[in-house]
Structure 1
Amino acid sequence: MQTSPPFRRDRARLPAAERRRQILEMTTKLIAERGFWGLSMQDVADGCGLTVPGMLHHVGSKDSLLVAVLEYRDEQDARSLAEMLGRPVHQLWTDGPSLPEVCAALVRRNAEQPEIVRLFAVLEAESLAPGHPAHDYFKARQSRTLDELSSLAADTVANPRELAAQVMAMMDGLQIQWLRDPQTYDLVRSWEAAATRLFPS
């Protein structure tokens, strides 16, 4: 009778920064598939060839791992967006791009990474519960995003924050439709149609 070979952990010693990045990428993948509540620390550790204590040595608790994943993805997206717009990251929201330009770049970026968009959609909905470990993160992120988008429209409309809120609502709604039926919805094309209504000038 044949038995499955025992699980062998990867004993390769990676630099701490590389190991942390590996853990964050694996956690991102698993949360996108299962949601935070379905996330197992054992599965993350197994995917990285580590024990659970060894993995937690790099990231702390499950809650701190979740927030680290979200912050890591925000950093990755900001770098990518700055590159798409031909700007330094620290000038992404100042002295240059218009709100329509930034929104178009954001949608193109998201269209290339459905798993990440799904991750944020799932966690944002789950985190509406006050006891969720990402509740404060998403509350602060929403406020920050409204501020950033508003700053790009400050000189073009009478109420830039109202426009920013409409942009966020439209973008989030279109992403949900796209994630649910990607064969039918083209995210970039849907956004372009919506942008003609949001930015009529």
Structure 2
Amino acid sequence: MGSLGKGTGQRLKAEDRKLQIIDVASLLISQRGYWGISIRDIALQCGITDTAILHHFGTKEHMLLAIIEKRDEDDRQAFADELGVKREDLYSAIPQIELEDVCAAIVKRNAKQPEIVRLYALLSAEALQPNHPVHDYFAKREQQVINTFASAKSEISMAPQARGRLLLSLMDGVQLRWLRDIANVDLIAEWKVASSFLF
């Protein structure tokens, strides 16, 4: 994650400023949730005005969508890298890859970014509310993850969609335990133990 904290007064290029805002907002949301922060909180940390943030994103809701879209694309690229496939071939390659390897790649990536995993855990829970700005986005995102697990090669004797839901539930649960005690829990080791009942 990029440098946080109050700005130095240095003018940044528009794209660099947007990335700074995304980094700062991601961290604050991962700590307090979407409803727990304001545009003002983010602006203060960036050393800019509320108006400057609205200039780049329009609204707080649009800023949140920009954060999620940026983080998701970063994760898709990292996921493809972990699996050794091109980004553009990621989803077409999944049916040729063992499910265990697909899951291991996700867990390995997530183990390197606890703040982002915390961000998604908080937003996923908040977004259960129908009026949340990323309610629909998270519903579609969750189904995409389930479909990814369902389409990978597997000998687990379970309907693909049911298998996908079970694996996502297991992964979410292991990650929550890890987030509560990062200093003492090894996410990758915990996942290997938890998933050994399936693989």
**Whole-angstrom distance in 1 between the partners of 2:101 and 2:143:** 21
Aligned-residue offset at 1:15:
2.3
Task: Give the root-mean-square deviation of aligned CA atoms.
Answer: 1.9
- The one-letter amino acid paired with 1:127 is A
- The one-letter amino acid paired with 2:89 is Q
Tell me the residue number matched to 2:100: 100
Aligned-residue offset at 1:81:
1.5
Q: Which moved more, 1:115-124 or 1:84-93?
A: 84-93
**Whole-angstrom distance in 2 between the partners of 1:154 and 1:80:** 22
Aligned-residue offset at 1:158:
5.4
Q: Identify if the C-alpha distance between structure 1 residues 158 and 121 changes in structure 2 by more than 3 Å, giving closer, same or farther.
A: closer
- The one-letter amino acid paired with 2:64 is L
Q: Which moved more, 1:149-158 or 1:108-117?
A: 149-158
Tell me the residue number matched to 2:122: 122
Q: Identify if the C-alpha distance between structure 1 residues 12 and 139 changes in structure 2 by more than 3 Å, giving closer, same or farther.
A: same
**Whole-angstrom distance in 2 between the partners of 1:59 and 1:12:** 20
Q: Which moved more, 1:23-32 or 1:82-91?
A: 82-91
Q: How does 1:1-201 map to 2 (within 5 A)?
A: 10-95=8-93, 96-153=96-153, 159-199=159-199
**Whole-angstrom distance in 1 between the partners of 2:24 and 2:61:** 15
Aligned-residue offset at 1:10:
4.7
Q: Which runs of 5+ in 1 are unaligned?
A: 1-7
Other structure's SS at 1:38 match: coil
**Whole-angstrom distance in 2 between the partners of 1:82 and 1:157:** 27
**Whole-angstrom distance in 2 between the partners of 1:35 and 1:187:** 23
**Whole-angstrom distance in 1 between the partners of 2:136 and 2:11:** 34
How many residues are paired up? 192
1:153–1:160 contact (8 Å) kept in structure 2: no
Tell me the residue number matched to 2:3: none
2:26–2:67 contact (8 Å) kept in structure 1: yes
**Whole-angstrom distance in 2 between the partners of 1:119 and 1:140:** 17
1:117-136 CA-to-partner distances (Å, cap 9, x unmatched) read 11111111111111111111
Pick the structure with greater CA Rg: 1
Aligned-residue offset at 1:94:
2.2
**Whole-angstrom distance in 1 between the partners of 2:193 and 2:175:** 14
* Length-normalised TM-score, structure 2: 0.89
